[in-house]
Structure 1
Amino acid sequence: MDCIDTIIVGNGPSAMILSFILHGHIPYYQANPPHPDPLLHAKLLQNPALLQADVNPLTEHFAASRLSYSTQALPVNVLLDTLVRPSVDVEELECVTNVEWRHEPEKAVPHLVFGDAACAGGQWTDNPMPASWDIQTLSYASMLSLPGYSFADHYRAVTGKELPAFTRPSRQETADYFRRYPGAVHIGDVFRFNQTLSGISRTDQGFYIRSHQLHCKHLVLATGIFTEVLQPSAMLQPLRSLDPVPSLSLLVVGSGFSAADVIISAPKDQKILHAFKWDPEARPSPLRGCHHQAYPEYAGVYRLMKRAALAASPGPPKRGKMRRTTSTPFLETRKWEEVYEGLPNLEFAGVEMKGDHALVTFRQPDGQTLVRAVRGLVYATGRRGTLKYLDPALLAEVLGQTDADPTVTNQSLRAKALNDMEVAPDVFVIGSLTGDSLIRFSYGSCVQAAGKIVGASSGQDRARISSAHTSRPSSSSVGVLRGLDGHDVHPAGVSRPQGDEDRSVLSTISERVLPTGLWKWVRSWWNVK
């Protein structure tokens, strides 16, 4: 049976960063120019090797710093983010990195990267909602960039032009960048696509992957928290067999970015019946944090939801809010009063199929019911991750409980990741499994895991890099850039000129998760380039 030092499960951005390091590209602090935080600069001058960085003393002053450090992400992730992009929030393309990637082949570690996606990029290659691939990401291109081949490099290679500052690439452009990344930085030899691992168990020598009859010494979990789309109840399932038509309402369920993407992408004359949760105090929609100038479409959908919630609440309407809603440019692109109806906080009471449409009964909070005719359903209430590829014993070890549910959110391993990315002996988590789902915050977990793996492989003592134990508490405020670049519905814990190859990959992945008829509807108004 084959044996390899390290196996990475998942082939998304964090897996690519870790593979880049394990190929022998080692990060060091680059002191010229010095980091804008003089105290951090002084500390790193004494020990510039970031694989051996001691996060506690390096980050203990962050809370009192004049610089704006994130209080939401893990300290190790904040540390690497500020070193990779010291002033990205204000200078973006002019930002000069303080990380030097030195190629040291003697520190390379044999490894393989397995993912069930058809190409590199993980969930970025997938579009499980009928939304246009032309929708822009919430992050700027520089915040999506991976080491050795930035998005700006990719843009230059594809278009022959320089990337404009503060570019928000489309999801199609982002997926293409990730697909090309392994080849661009010469790490593609270790990637295995369309591969689903299962039956991973611990052995005396490390781990055994039953599905592929492989042994390894180190196991890295990089499957993220967005692998499985939440499914509608049995009552609503028949609605998915109906192909949408503009004259009848398409039922969209969800209060976040995925639901908003569907509404934004729909034909201008498509009627939308939008059912969503509305609790701005206890569980606000993530759309609330979208500024109307930076994210006009998302801000517009949020205002439609707010208007519907105000109309449904007792008391006189707040006309001032209504006037601001109609003044938003995005909301002037359609006759929303004719095509959109928002139904906040209603329960589904029944579905009666009527041939080419269905009658859906909703129960209001006061017990009264209302009936709407619909044709088609998009259920966008969120995604969750899963560790079902681990056997029960190893799953219990990783999650710290027996009879553990393999379903995971951003809180499932957060407490363990706060102390160390090694959540069980020789088992590491990286990327969104640490609780930080933005790509910009993936570097820290990857560097920390690599430090221990490289150290163990070279026979040296375990690297000292560790997360700070005195992390700031998580805020209850809504952040815009959450989830899969913010494209998630509920915060976890609450519960391209590309060519035929690209089109075939995206088509294959999308059609295996959506009803065929719904994708035909999508293609009738989405002009696939």
Structure 2
Amino acid sequence: MPLIEETVVPGDSLLTLPVVVIGNGPSGICLSYLLSGYRPYLSPEAIHPNPVLHTKLEEARHLSIVDQDLEYLSEGLEGRSSNPVAVLFDTLLHPDADFGYDYPPVLHWKLEQHNYIPHIVVGKGPPGGAWHSMEGSMLTISFGDWMELPGLSFKEWAANKRRNIKSDRVMPEEIACYYKHYVKVMGLQKNFRDNVYITSVSRLYRGKDDEDRTQLNENISAQHLEMEDGQKSLIKRNWEVRGYQRATDGSHVPFCLFAENVALATGTFDSPGRLQVEGEDFPFVLHSMSDFGAAISKGKLRGKPDPVLIVGAGLTAADAVLCACNNNIPVIHVFRRRVTDTSLIFKQLPKKLYPEYHKVYHMMCTQSHTVDSNLHSAYTSFPEHNVLSFKPEMKCVLQSACGLKKILKFSVALVLIGSHPNLFFLKDQGHSIGHHSNQPITCKGNPIEIDPYTYECTKEANLFALGPLVGDNFVRFLKGGALGIARCLAIRQKKKHELIESRDGGDGVP
């Protein structure tokens, strides 16, 4: 579905949208669901296990959650997200999930067409985002139920598709198919544009400060946007969004459109983390599980006498270790932390639910290299070691915490130390909107700074962010961002319509 051809420059009559969502993964999909008019209400017979929260919900049972005070509802709640609305929405969808309970949601959903806010969700691939490119042989860290989006049970979807789901954890391929189907079954396709690459998102009008900009926008001729019901609404051009859409023949069709609001839902899988050491650009140094899987499937590592070198102590690195072991490839595992470090992700995972990861952790602890020992035949860990450089003869120079250096030979190196978002299309690559100004945006160290209840960037009006960009890595929590943004935009749309009606005399007669 084409966007719009770039035949004119800003200032001519171009399409203006209330919202453009950049990123079509679960964050963007969930936001589109709410912007399309779906509203959550407290189910008639539902009783939330948190009595204080349930009392608050009962006070406004007739209102959707979108129309309620999110700060009031989320007050006092605790969970595994630093964003209060994320914790609130999660406990409504998965009550007491962190305590091991499998309670049903206390919400039911209604489609209210009058709450539809026109928007476009753009992504580089099909709906589902990065889930379509993840290694398909590994299980997700989260349960399948926690990966689902509002209104469509993952288990019911899997049963209807006759998919054989053997455990509560599922493969990324299953999740990617679920997200793609979700967009279709919920009737959201009209809002989605695939094969779209954004190259620039910029302000059209800037004043000395927000007041100047607001006054300037008021004096700019407004753009009419045709709504679904045929009515027209006055909308200011706050953002210019440029990019191109890849056509079926491989050609690039440029476009330019305007948006009153932009929501960033790109996730953090764009740019793999790098060690920034000498030799990291050699072709035998890989930075993704997909590249490693491709090398194995093509037989490039078959019969190699030297081990694969894996750098990193997260779950993706653990997946790589498991993948290598399952293919009888010896492993050298290098990571900076101590095996007793309490911040290691393995410390947070129950052994019964994640036996394969605890198998890796056990090897990390018991099969580590010492000064007096040789490499183990199948796996050897190097805790508290840093990579100093890679050499062209496929050797690696390591340095221990006490300064000792060691040179190791390997067949291929795999650097898996996290990933970062690529916000090159924003001014200064988005460095100015993080908690720490002038530093790259990262999920843990420097997420985008937002209002905790509206998810609007505190340093850039009408720019919103959700999901990993604001620190919510897990799907179960990113849905809260969609709720916060939808409520904020719904309030603004209502005020805008009231203003238009008052200017028209309040009786609909011009």
- Shorter-normalised TM-score: what interval? 0.7 to 0.9
Pick from 344, 362, 370: which aligns with 1:303? 362
Aligned to 1:244: 301
1:207 to 2:243 alignment: no
The amino acid across from 1:274 in the alignment is H
Look up the SS of the partner of 1:292 in the other structure: coil
Alpha-carbon separation, structure 1, partners of 2:400 and 2:333? 14
Contact 1:6/1:217 (<8 A) preserved: yes
Contact 1:199/1:390 (<8 A) preserved: yes
1:410 to 2:454 alignment: no
Alpha-carbon separation, structure 1, partners of 2:388 and 2:267? 34
- The runs of 5 or more residues in structure 2 that have no matched partner are 1-13, 205-216, 218-236, 244-254, 287-294, 499-510
TM, length-normalised to structure 1? 0.73
The percent identity for this pair of structures is 23
Give 1:86-105 correspondences, 5 Å limit: 86-89=95-98, 95-105=103-113
Shift of 1:398: 3.4
User: Per-residue displacement from partner, 1:128-168 (whole Å, max 9, x unpaired)?
Assistant: xxxx512111111111110122211320221078x67x611
**How many aligned residue pairs are there?**
422
Aligned to 2:79: 70
The amino acid across from 1:210 in the alignment is R
The amino acid across from 1:158 in the alignment is K
Change in Cα spacing, 1:417 to 1:300, as seen in structure 2 (3 Å) is farther
Aligned to 1:8: 21
Alpha-carbon separation, structure 2, partners of 1:81 and 1:198? 34
Alpha-carbon separation, structure 1, partners of 2:454 and 2:487? 12
Shift of 1:30: 2.2
The amino acid across from 2:137 in the alignment is D
Look up the SS of the partner of 2:199 in the other structure: coil
The amino acid across from 2:147 in the alignment is L
Aligned to 2:30: 17
Shift of 1:449: 0.3
Structure with a larger share of its residues in helix: 1
Aligned to 1:134: 137
Aligned to 2:384: 345
Contact 2:435/2:448 (<8 A) preserved: no
Pick from 60, 70, 74: which aligns with 1:59? 74
Aligned to 1:182: 183
1:272 to 2:331 alignment: yes
Shift of 1:292: 2.6
Shift of 1:427: 1.3
Aligned to 2:221: none
Aligned to 2:279: 235
Pick from 460, 463, 467: which aligns with 1:427? 463
Alpha-carbon separation, structure 2, partners of 1:76 and 1:90? 19
Look up the SS of the partner of 1:407 in the other structure: coil
Contact 1:273/1:341 (<8 A) preserved: yes
User: Per-residue displacement from partner, 1:450-496 (whole Å, max 9, x unpaired)?
Assistant: 0121222233699xxxxxxxxxxxxxxxxxxxxxxxxxxxxxxxxxx
Contact 1:251/1:374 (<8 A) preserved: yes
Alpha-carbon separation, structure 2, partners of 1:364 and 1:86? 45
Alpha-carbon separation, structure 2, partners of 1:240 and 1:259? 14
User: Per-residue displacement from partner, 1:213-262 (whole Å, max 9, x unpaired)?
Assistant: 10011111111233211235342332338943442211111111111101
The amino acid across from 1:11 in the alignment is N
Contact 1:362/1:370 (<8 A) preserved: yes
Change in Cα spacing, 1:367 to 1:5, as seen in structure 2 (3 Å) is closer
Alpha-carbon separation, structure 2, partners of 1:264 and 1:401? 36
1:255 to 2:287 alignment: no
Give 1:80-479 correspondences, 5 Å limit: 80-89=89-98, 95-116=103-124, 118-127=125-134, 132-159=135-162, 167-203=168-204, 204=217, 205-211=237-243, 212-232=255-275, 233-238=277-282, 239-240=284-285, 243-245=300-302, 246-266=304-324, 267-279=326-338, 284-309=343-368, 312=370, 337-354=376-393, 358-392=394-428, 395=430, 398-399=433-434, 404-413=438-447, 415-418=449-452, 420-423=454-457, 424-459=460-495
Look up the SS of the partner of 2:40 in the other structure: strand
TM, length-normalised to structure 2? 0.75
Contact 1:251/1:273 (<8 A) preserved: yes
Shift of 1:396: 6.3
Contact 1:9/1:223 (<8 A) preserved: yes
Change in Cα spacing, 1:248 to 1:182, as seen in structure 2 (3 Å) is same
Contact 2:313/2:335 (<8 A) preserved: yes
Shift of 1:289: 2.4
Alpha-carbon separation, structure 1, partners of 2:278 and 2:391? 13
The amino acid across from 1:299 in the alignment is H
The amino acid across from 1:206 in the alignment is N
Change in Cα spacing, 1:173 to 1:364, as seen in structure 2 (3 Å) is same
Shift of 1:201: 1.0
- The runs of 5 or more residues in structure 1 that have no matched partner are 63-68, 318-335, 463-529
The amino acid across from 1:296 in the alignment is P
Alpha-carbon separation, structure 1, partners of 2:338 and 2:497? 51
Look up the SS of the partner of 1:341 in the other structure: strand
Change in Cα spacing, 1:390 to 1:366, as seen in structure 2 (3 Å) is closer
Shift of 1:282: 6.1
Alpha-carbon separation, structure 2, partners of 1:3 and 1:83? 35
Contact 1:70/1:78 (<8 A) preserved: yes
Alpha-carbon separation, structure 2, partners of 1:258 and 1:71? 20
Alpha-carbon separation, structure 2, partners of 1:89 and 1:457? 36
Using CA pairs under 8 Å that are at least 6 residues apart, name the structure with larger relative contact order, 1 or 2: 1
Mean alpha-carbon deviation: is it higher for 49-58 or for 82-91?
82-91
Aligned to 1:474: none
Structure number with greater Rg is 2
User: Per-residue displacement from partner, 1:40-82 (whole Å, max 9, x unpaired)?
Assistant: 12212222421122233323343xxxxxx41543221111111
Alpha-carbon separation, structure 2, partners of 1:351 and 1:442? 38
Change in Cα spacing, 1:152 to 1:370, as seen in structure 2 (3 Å) is same
